[in-house]
Amino acid sequence: MRKHIVAGNWKMNTTVPEGVELAKAVVAKSAEVPADVKLIIATPFTHLYPVNEVVKGSAVGLSAENCADKEKGAYTGEVSVSMLTSTGCEYTILGHSERRQYYGETDEKLVEKTRLAIAAGLQVILCVGENLDEREAGKHFEVVGAQTRNVLGNFTAEDMAKIIIAYEPVWAIGTGKTATADQAEEIHAYIRGILKDMFGAQVADDTTILYGGSCKPSNAGELFAKPDIDGGLIGGAALKAEDFIGIALSF
Ligand code: 13P
């Protein structure tokens, strides 16, 4: 059976000492969260090692926000998957819309990154989602379908055990404008249908699909009550331990 997950994406926020304090607060409150809800925090690269010192031995998982599309070598400024695993981190977000939009992340690069991450033993939180123009033009199914197929078409049913999908409509990220629970559910169900087509019913049923975009304690309950929404990828509200845990308590 698929897992319930609440993952916090800290993005480019907090200094290292602030991040360590935030992680301590999350770990301290994590005991309130039922064991069937997995908490993950995704931090900037600089924070991974010291934050791992805080979360190790707890139920809180640690994720990066990106990784290099090359294994190692002369790629100044990049961070490889083996560097990530050496910090103790177990997950990485890939294909976040901010990386697609501002840093030229393509589906082709995401295939390489996903391949390297899985080979290194990381679990991948793969993000998909349409922007406002695409939504208004009624192309959201087409866009999300293409993003999903373009990357996952290169992987096997076995690989899917290491892949979590996050649907994040770009127009709902950091805008305070959440997709309604029905809008989110119809895309989640659509993605699950694609997984069924590609990998069969078992994989479709076992894959965790998260919703992201202005998710907060006040709206998480309605979203998580939907049959195909298995949790959230949280931005702004993940920067306050109380709100982050409040979301995890919304199942
Ligand atoms: P917000 O929760 O701030 O809208 O961000 C969502 C997000 O992009 C998580 O990856």
- State the CB neighbour count (10 A cutoff) for residue 113: 25
Looking at residue 1, its pLDDT comes to 79
User: For a substitution probing ligand 1, which of 233, 239, 250 has the most ligand atoms within 8 Å of its CB?
Assistant: 233
User: If we measure between CA atoms, which residue out of 179, 173, 170 comes closest to residue 219?
Assistant: 179
- State the CB neighbour count (10 A cutoff) for residue 228: 19
Q: Is 168 in the pocket of ligand 1 (CB under 6 A)?
A: yes
Secondary structure of residue 81 in the 3-state scheme: helix
Atom of ligand 1 minimally distant from the CA of 172: 4
Secondary structure of residue 127 in the 3-state scheme: strand
Looking at residue 176, its pLDDT comes to 86
Q: Is 213 in the pocket of ligand 1 (CB under 6 A)?
A: yes
Q: Which residues of the chain have pLDDT under 50?
A: none
Q: Is 236 in the pocket of ligand 1 (CB under 6 A)?
A: yes
Residue nearest to atom 9 of ligand 1 (CA): 235
- DSSP β-ladder status, 163-167 and 209-212: parallel
